[in-house]
Chains A and B, each alone.
Chain A
Amino acid sequence: MASSLVKPTIRAILIVILLLMIGAPFVWMVLSSLQPNSALIQPGNFFSPALVTFGNYVKLPSATQYVLLARNSLLVALISTAIAIPLALLAAYSVFRTRYRGRTFIYNLLLVVYIFPGVLLLAPLFGLFAVTGLLNSWASLVIMNVTFAVPFSVWLMRGFFTSIPNGIEEAAAIDGATDMQILWKVIVPLTAPGIVVTATYTFVLSWTEFMFASVFIIDDRLKTLPVGLEALVSQYSIDWGLLSAAAVMAALPVVIIFTFAGRYFVESITSGAGK
């Protein structure tokens, strides 16, 4: 009798725990950003509504070039995404919708792109970029983001490609469409959710990337947001309040994007990825 009530209750509790697990740190981050640092480092002090201040947000523009950094990050992420999509689309088409010797090998090869510790690629890549004149440019970051985003994206696209009925290309070809037209007019619309997934994955990967951005960019005007944030944690002082505000502002753009596009991403990915 009670079990019909117990189950949903337990489930509700678990869902709340799950959301708290993810959400609570962010809530705490927002709360901390509204307190002066001097209050935050008082032991025993949690959060005093009386001390709520926007001072940390006011200080932020003079402590970091937020707008510039956010704009740079956004541009790098968007350019990376724009390049990753066609690469992943072509590769996924090749791997999932055509047959040739070595195809399976290539598919497996894509998955093992991730075997090498990235730290050690820094030195040779730095040299490579310097020789090609790409050092200290967004191109170097875009290239690395695409490198690490596309192979996995190809796998994410799998379900969307394999669920297209065989023969659809042939049918289109009979109607006189060229390969490119088929790809553009037939395949792209059918795999649109997969493209959304790839785009989001690449965007997030690029938006959060720190290591390459911190080494390959020399000029302050070209730096990205994670690198700018790192500069806030100076050697000699940590202003937890200011950092919290900065963290909120760093999370904000993706949170806004996710508020509007997140559902579409989730729906897209659940509609086909990993099938």
Chain B
Amino acid sequence: MKTAEDRNLHQRLAARLTAGVMTGAIVLSVGVASAEPIQITLWHQEQVQARVDQFQKVIDAFNASQAEYQVVQQVQSWGNIYQKLPPAIQAGVQPDIDFTIPDFTVTIRETGAVQPVDDIVAEIEKKHKFIDQALTPYRDEGKIWAVPVYGMVQVLWYRKDLFKAAGLDPESPPKTWEEFLNAARTLTKNGKFGVGVPVSKSLATDQVLYSLMSVNGGTELFDASGAVTFDTPKNVETVNFYKQLSELSPSGAASWTWPEPQDALNAGTVAMAIEKGQYLTPFEETSGQAADQLGCAPIPVNAGGEEHSIYYSNAAMVLTSDPDKRKGAAAFLSFILEPANYAEFLLAEPGLFLPLTVDGASEAWTGSPILSKYKGCVDLMIGMSKKGVLPGFNTGTVQKAIGPIMAQNLLSQVVQKVVVGGEDPQAAVTWGQEQMSAAAGQ
């Protein structure tokens, strides 16, 4: 860690010396100080062109609002960011800001390049308070490691028309696991399926499994001492429940990730799915149904469990140690979180990107063309955000092992073993426990 830092320092020192000499030369020769704005490089992994365009609008607004800094976005991919960012950091060519999720932050912190941002967060919080779920995942070692920018939460989505057709009350979605399973059974007939759950080795499956774990007393993967506590009777029960749901899912579920359950729900082949807010935007066009036919509800809770859901606080890591650039990054991030700009920013993906400041759900955002049609669901997601949890990130202390645990999709591998491989849930959970312990070096 030291070496990388030192090397970076040396490179930067060298770069700054060179820059200094050159600036000096320019100043001497031209006689005027250059008023070039400082360039702030922003990386993010939201490749969809519509999101890139929307981000650009906000960036343009920021660049126009002041003359000191110039933000430039460079779009990367979740598919290879693990291969790209670490060598970029080692070579000293990393961006100044990178949008991140909690487990990725933990991993990248090992490079030594991630800067604590307590001061920036404190400054922003003077105006806009963050919800706890936004900041907690980025707290560790008494510091805050990234500035939250938007949230994502899962709920239960369902087709009201299919509920009606199956003789279920569309206005009373399942609240318990028992009701959930019964509804799914009732809805599974005539080539239609009650529910669509992914069973692939992917983050999509990880997320749905964890959401179900969270409503069955399984929010924590580690105990206070940092030991892995995945192998519990509750989690075995959850994995078994997942298996039962998967039997009421279409055949292709073993290669499903995010798009397929949504497509199936829109096509009317499945009636329920547990997912995030990306379901709103395409619903009307793809399903051919009116907006009010898309139902949403908290994830059904098992007996003795509490209402929860997986919650992703997406945040901005600051990767520059240059004080000027850092100031620019701070200025840009607090610009984003200003309600007027924030609405524009969040609309990069209406419904998926949720505000995580207390005053973030502004009229400009909720009243936007798409979201205004789904008022109830938007409110539900905002409410669920405050009950959000994330494996390994609920206590303000982070276990490093969560990085490789999530990167390897160990949760979904457990599901695959049971559903696709026909393994006993207990055996699969025990295997999961062993793998996680190995990742934790235990």
**Chain A directly contacts chain B within the complex, with at least one CB pair under 8 Å:** yes
CA distance A126 to B87 in the complex (A): 6
Q: Which residues from chain A contact B76 at a C-beta distance below 8 Å?
A: 218
Contact for B267 among A41, A122, A130, A230, CB less than 8 A: A41
Contact of B136 with A by CB under 8 A: no
A64 touches B267 (CB 8 A): no
Known: A43-B191, A230-B79, A236-B258. A63 touches B49 (CB 8 A): yes
Stretch at the interface among B90-98, B114-122, B390-398: B90-98
A180: min CB distance to chain B, Å: 39
Chain B proximity mask over A3-40: 1 for CB below 8 Å, otherwise 0: 00000000000000000000000000000000001100
Q: A213-234: which have CB < 8 Å to B?
A: 214-215, 218-220, 227, 230-231, 234
Q: Which residues from chain A contact B91 at a C-beta distance below 8 Å?
A: 126-127, 130-131, 135
CA distance A8 to B395 in the complex (A): 75
A236 touches B278 (CB 8 A): yes
Known: A215-B83, A236-B262. A62 touches B49 (CB 8 A): yes
CA distance A230 to B76 in the complex (A): 11
Contact of A235 with B by CB under 8 A: yes
B288 touches A130 (CB 8 A): no
CA distance A65 to B288 in the complex (A): 29
A38 touches B288 (CB 8 A): yes
Chain A interfacial residues counted at CB < 8 A: 30
Contact of A111 with B by CB under 8 A: no
- In the complex, which residue of chain B has the Cβ closest to the Cβ of A130? B91
Known: A135-B93, A214-B79, A236-B352. A38 touches B47 (CB 8 A): no
B77 touches A127 (CB 8 A): no
Contact of B21 with A by CB under 8 A: no
Known: A127-B90, A135-B91, A135-B93. A219 touches B74 (CB 8 A): yes
Q: Which residues from chain B contact A123 at a C-beta distance below 8 Å?
A: 83, 86-87
Q: A142-196: which have CB < 8 Å to B?
A: none
CA distance A123 to B88 in the complex (A): 9
Contact for B75 among A131, A231, A238, CB less than 8 A: A231
Q: A100-125: which have CB < 8 Å to B?
A: 122-123
Contact of B375 with A by CB under 8 A: no
Q: Which residues from chain B contact A64 at a C-beta distance below 8 Å?
A: 49
B258 touches A237 (CB 8 A): yes
Q: Which residues from chain A contact B16 at a C-beta distance below 8 Å?
A: none
CA distance A37 to B286 in the complex (A): 8
Contact for A42 among B267, B282, B352, CB less than 8 A: B267
A220 touches B79 (CB 8 A): no
Contact of B225 with A by CB under 8 A: no
Q: Which residues from chain A contact B77 at a C-beta distance below 8 Å?
A: 214, 227, 230-231
A38 touches B258 (CB 8 A): no
CA distance A38 to B269 in the complex (A): 13
A181: min CB distance to chain B, Å: 44
Contact of B66 with A by CB under 8 A: no
Contact of B285 with A by CB under 8 A: yes
A237 touches B74 (CB 8 A): no
B73: min CB distance to chain A, Å: 8
CB within 8 Å of A: which residues of B?
A: 43, 47-50, 52, 74-80, 83-84, 86-88, 90-93, 191, 257-260, 262-264, 266-267, 269, 276, 278, 282, 285-288, 352
Pairs of residues from A and B, 3 with the lowest C-beta to C-beta distance, nearest first: A130-B91, A231-B47, A126-B87
CB within 8 Å of B: which residues of A?
A: 37-38, 41-43, 62-65, 122-123, 126-127, 130-131, 135-136, 214-215, 218-220, 227, 230-231, 234-238
11 new A-B contacts, CB < 8 A, other than A130-B88, A231-B77, are A38-B267, A41-B263, A62-B50, A123-B87, A130-B87, A130-B92, A218-B76, A218-B84, A220-B75, A235-B258, A236-B352
